[in-house]
Amino acid sequence: MRVLLFDIDGTLIDAGGAGQAAMEKAVAIEFGETRPVKNIPAAGRTDRAIGRDLFEYYSIPATDENWNRYLDTYFSLLPESLHSKPGSVLPGVQPLIHGLSQRDDIFLGLLTGNFARGAHLKLRHYGLHHHFRTGGYGDWHLHRDDVARDALKSVREHLPDVQSEQIWVIGDTPADVQCGRAIGAKVLAVATGIFSADQLAPHRPDLLLDDLTDVAEWLGQL
């Protein structure tokens, strides 16, 4: 058995900035803040960390009540944001995921910084949601390594005897490489996000591809 844990944004899909747009609109609706957001990076980070930075940027008190208001509005806005933004499934993803999902020796999961509900909304929008059985999400953690540990724990609820060397993490940022290493997994890095292959190479993933269209070498290692 091989466990494959996929990142979402920049790896499976390009959502066209739908998530960030919905986050900023949620802050505007709930707290009246409309100043343009500057210098809050998103790639490879958890939604919890991005939300924390938004609250700090706008000096919004980080109370449970404010956080829940923000989440409820974000989730209500995200579907329309996905419809309105020019996003797409990334090259090679549809046939790869479909083929892997047919294999009895492959267990598909997610390892994403997205909030769990946001992850499912995005994948449902692009018709990929039904392939993934479990995952780790960015609801509670500021650091992606902790999300990876959650993902591993979740996988072991299905496969109690799975070992780290049976796991691959697939992602598009240096943080994906790092969090895979944190759980002892192998890492496939793909240059389909904001990081080029030259930028990803120094982080030494086990395999580095331009995209997921030509995966014969990787599939041969599974």
pLDDT at site 10: 97
Alpha helices in the chain (DSSP H): 18-31, 47-57, 64-84, 93-101, 116-125, 144-158, 174-182, 197-200, 216-221
Residues 210 and 177 in one domain: yes
Residue ranges of the chain with pLDDT lower than 70?
A: none
Residues 76 and 158 in one domain: no
Q: Let me know whether 70 and 10 are in one domain.
A: no
**66 and 128 both lie in a single domain:** no
CA distances from 159 to 17, 132, 155, 180 (A): 35, 14, 6, 18
Q: What is the pLDDT of residue 38?
A: 87
**In this structure, are residues 74 and 43 in contact, taking their beta carbons and an 8 Å threshold?**
no
Q: What is the pLDDT of residue 39?
A: 87
Phi, psi of 140 (to 5 degrees): -115, -20
**110 and 63 both lie in a single domain:** no
Structure tokens at 79: 């579907």
CA dist., res. 51 & res. 28, Å (int): 13
Query: Domain residues for 134?
Result: 2-15+87-221
Residue pair 65/73 in contact (Cβ under 8 Å)? The answer is no
* CATH code for the domain in which residue 206 is found: 3.40.50.1000
Same domain, 34 and 80: yes
Structural domains in the chain (count):
2
**Are 128 and 70 contained in the same domain?**
no
150 in the same domain as 192: yes
pLDDT at 222: 87
- State whether 47 and 124 are in the same domain: no
Q: Tell me: do 171 and 77 sit in the same domain.
A: no
Q: Are residues 213 and 115 in the same domain?
A: yes
Please check whether residues 7 and 43 belong to one and the same domain. Answer: no
- Supply the pTM of this predicted model: 0.96
Which of 84, 111, 126 finishes a domain? 84
